[in-house]
Structure 1
């Protein structure tokens, strides 16, 4: 089943959830801050979209940790460990499922991936 990691106060996440519901797409909703994606899920999505796109670059935690400068020298394992321990760092919505790997919400990309 499709797993969709969302943050309830995020308007983009609400839009994505409405989009899925309007199309009758079944999904398991996960609270991204309380239960960040597991390392295996992060790896699957990173393979599809790239490591950099996993990070919520507009978030306060990203800036406070200075990740703009640290990320280029960080190993994949270090990046995954950081993301798996802090859901605020993960770009949302974060979607993983059989043959599906998405971050952020762009209706055209979601239409293509979930058609």
Structure 2
């Protein structure tokens, strides 16, 4: 089993590195990190609380998965935002502003896989299926 290491803000630019972005006390992030460790997937962890949100990655993630999926409108942080701030989110740019200011509104975890894929959230069945597909010749 590999132990994840902390990653500098721009580590995702290195090829062949899986980087998991999130908040360490988030239950979904904990499950994802445990799954990666159990599968022996070497990865780095980027802590939004300590390291912030890498602004250069937000547009990349939004292009890959869509800003609507990246923005967690069901979470407590979103619900605590004032109505004007919520109403002002209408496109990728305005969503990115809120995500930079309030990293907890980002759906977690965001994973930049070593093969270039970007995923948001953790669904064990989907991740198992993807791992099986990658391991087939």
Which TM-score bucket, shorter chain as reference? 0.7 to 0.9
Is the Cα contact below 8 Å between 1:36 and 1:86 reproduced in 2?
no
Q: Distance in 1 between matches of 2:127 and 2:36?
A: 9
Name the Cα RMSD after superposition: 2.2
Q: State which of 119, 124, 137 in structure 2 corresponds to 1:107.
A: 124
Contact 1:54 1:91 in 2 (8 A): yes
Residue 68 of structure 1: how far off its partner (Å): 5.1
**TM-score, normalization: structure 2?**
0.69
Aligned-residue offset at 1:89: 1.1
The one of the two structures with greater contact order (alpha-carbon pairs below 8 A, sep at least 6) is 1
What is the CA–CA distance in structure 2 between the aligned matches of 1:110 and 1:49, rounded to whole Å? 16
Aligned length in residues: 113
With normalisation by structure 1, the TM-score equals 0.80
Mapping for residues 1-115 of structure 1, pairs under 5 Å: 1-65=17-81, 66=83, 69-71=87-89, 73=90, 75-98=91-114, 99-111=116-128, 112=130, 115=134
The structure with the larger Rg is 2
5+ long unaligned stretches in structure 1: none
